[in-house]
Each structure stands twice: as structure tokens, then as C-alpha cells.
């Protein structure tokens, strides 16, 4: 069963959201990364997770079918964490398992600190600890940054391209993000991005989150007090948050466990779906049993 929603959050901003699976099953909220809509959680992965959960995915503001507002109503990255809670509120979900990828992992860390009573468990993947990596606003963490080739490619993000050229740009972006260990299926990623374009009704790549205020992300020291069951997924080929980011994150979050998905980069291609879904489902089951 799949149901779509329009959720109104602060300032009249509307977000697109979708529920999939048995509504009576334990809820699981998927929080995507920067400048990425919820449909970039692959259908196959969502279906695997929906075998045990009522899965909710949504479009951040300024992505997909959600309101584009940064130009008229600037916001901080931290405000996107409050949007996640607003989605839960609108769907009548008091507590959920929450999975965050990349910037979504940053947002879930903020929820662990500011709204732990709303989380049954947390899973963090392809991300870095608050105050580290792309969230290292002060530049003092000492951990490695993104691969130089990726930083160079990001300079052309949001360019004025037609649909064919934009699809080529996005497929090459996924090739770089994939990390080069697992086989790269360009046709699969092209189909993923074609769905994302059709979903958004636009070929222009979103860039708003790169321009949002990063204030309030330097809270890594607070993570030691976390008591929500937390799983960190180590993606060893991740070129955005390369090793030892995952190990560092697991070390600083109170009681966190670390699970490695071999070959995984900063992407969700078919070879990682089964091991990732198995790790998440085992983690949420253990949290529910506890």
C-alpha cells in the first residue's frame, strides 16, 4: 500500500511525502541527502524495508515536489531537521525509526540531540559526525574531506543544461560518488534520475542546500550523551566522507554500533540494497525488542 501526502511545515512550506507498506507496521522515516528528493531512495530498497516497516520518504524543501523557498525565505540546514519532525507530526507518528543518508545523517544527528523521544532508533550512513566533514564549519576536525575530483565536479552543479545533458551530468556524478569499487551500472542510475526529473517536473538540478546557513552543526561533543539505539553504516568507498569518518562517528555517538557494507560508496546501487536493508531491519528489530 502506497499513499502520497502534502505536508505543511513552518512558514506555509509544503513538502511531498509518501507512506509505503503496512500502516500498522513500525514506522521508518527515510531522510535523504542535500539537494536530493525522496525518490532517490531507490524503489527496490524502499520495498525491502517495507517488508517490515511502514516506510515514509519525503522531499526536502527546494527538492522534488516540495516548495522552493530559499530565495524568498532563507533557512538553515538545521531547519530541515525540524521539517522531518513536521512530517512525522502530519502523519500522526509519535515515534519512528529514522534512517539518514549524507546530509540526512546530519539531520538525524540533530534529532538525536533535540528530539530523542521521537526516535525508536537511528541509522546513519554515508555521513560524518556533527562538526566533522562537510559539517566541519570551523575546519578543525582533522578528518579527510571529499575527493578532489568530486569537489571540482561540484563546481558545475546547477548548470543550465537541457534534459539530455543534465542526465549525463547526474550519471557521471553518481559514478564519482560510487567510489569505484562496485560495478557501475550507468543505465540504472540514468533511470533513477529520469524518475527524479519526472517527479520534480524539472530538469534543473537543485542547489539550495549548498547555499543554506550551516549554523548549529558544530555539536559533535554532545553526541556522547545519545541513548537512542544508533547504527552507523560504514561505506568504505565513500569519496565524500572517506574512512575513518564512519568509525569516528560510531565512536562519538553514545552506544553506537558500526556495520560495514563492503564496496559501498556514497550511493545506493542495487548491490547494496540487500545488505543495507538487512542491517537496518536487524537494527530496528533489536531496538523494538529492547
The phi, psi pair for 270, rounded to 5°, reads -50, -40
Cell numbers linked to 206: 537543485
Of 79, 173, 238, 248, the catalytic one is 238
160-197 burial: b if 16+ Cβ within 10 Å, else e:
ebeeeebbebbbebbbbbbbeebebbeeebeebbeebb
Question: Over the range 207-218, which residues count as b (16 or more CB within 10 Å of their CB) and which as e?
Answer: ebbeebebebbb
Give the closest residue to 231 by CA, choosing from 289, 290, 286.
286
37, 66, 67, 102: the active-site residue: 102
Q: How many CB atoms sit inside 10 A of residue 275's CB? A: 16
Q: What residues are paired with 54 via a beta bridge?
A: 27
238 labelled catalytic: yes
Copy the grid coordinates of residue 13. Answer: 512550506
Catalytic residue ranges = 102, 238, 266
Amino acid at each position: 500500500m502506497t499513499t502520497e501526502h502534502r505536508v505543511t511545515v513552518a512558514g506555509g512550506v509544503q513538502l511531498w511525502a509518501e507512506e509505503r507498506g503496512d500502516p500498522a507496521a513500525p514506522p521508518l522515516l527515510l531522510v535523504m541527502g542535500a539537494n536530493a528528493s525522496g525518490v532517490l531512495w531507490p524503489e527496490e530498497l524502499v520495498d525491502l524495508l517495507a517488508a517490515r516497516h511502514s516506510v515514509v520518504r519525503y522531499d526536502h524543501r527546494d527538492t522534488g515536489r516540495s516548495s522552493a523557498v530559499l530565495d524568498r525565505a532563507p533557512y538553515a540546514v538545521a531547519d530541515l531537521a525540524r521539517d522531518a519532525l513536521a512530517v512525522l507530526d502530519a502523519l500522526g507518528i509519535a515515534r519512528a525509526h529514522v534512517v539518514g543518508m549524507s546530509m540526512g545523517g546530519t539531520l538525524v544527528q540533530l534529532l538525536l540531540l533535540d528530539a530523542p523521544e521521537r526516535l525508536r532508533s537511528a541509522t546513519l550512513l554515508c555521513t560524518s559526525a556533527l562538526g566533522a566533514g562537510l559539517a566541519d564549519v570551523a575546519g578543525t576536525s582533522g578528518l579527510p574531506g571529499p575527493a578532489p575530483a568530486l569537489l571540482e565536479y561540484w563546481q558545475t552543479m546547477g548548470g543550465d543544461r537541457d534534459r539530455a545533458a543534465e542526465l549525463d551530468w547526474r550519471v557521471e556524478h553518481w559514478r564519482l560518488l560510487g567510489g569505484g569499487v562496485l560495478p557501475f551500472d550507468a543505465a540504472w542510475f540514468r533511470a533513477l534520475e529520469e524518475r527524479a526529473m519526472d517527479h520534480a517536473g524539472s530538469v534543473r538540478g537543485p542547489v539550495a542546500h549548498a547555499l543554506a546557513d550551516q549554523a548549529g552543526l558544530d555539536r559533535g561533543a554532545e553526541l556522547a550523551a545519545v541513548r537512542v539505539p544508533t547504527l552507523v553504516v560504514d561505506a568504505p568507498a565513500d569519496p565524500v566522507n572517506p574512512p575513518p569518518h564512519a568509525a569516528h562517528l560510531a565512536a562519538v555517538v553514545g552506544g553506537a554500533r558500526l556495520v560495514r557494507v563492503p564496496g559501498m560508496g556514497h550511493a545506493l546501487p542495487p548491490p547494496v540494497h540487500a545488505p543495507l536493508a538487512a542491517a537496518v531491519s536487524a537494527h530496528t528489530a533489536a531496538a523494538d525488542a529492547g
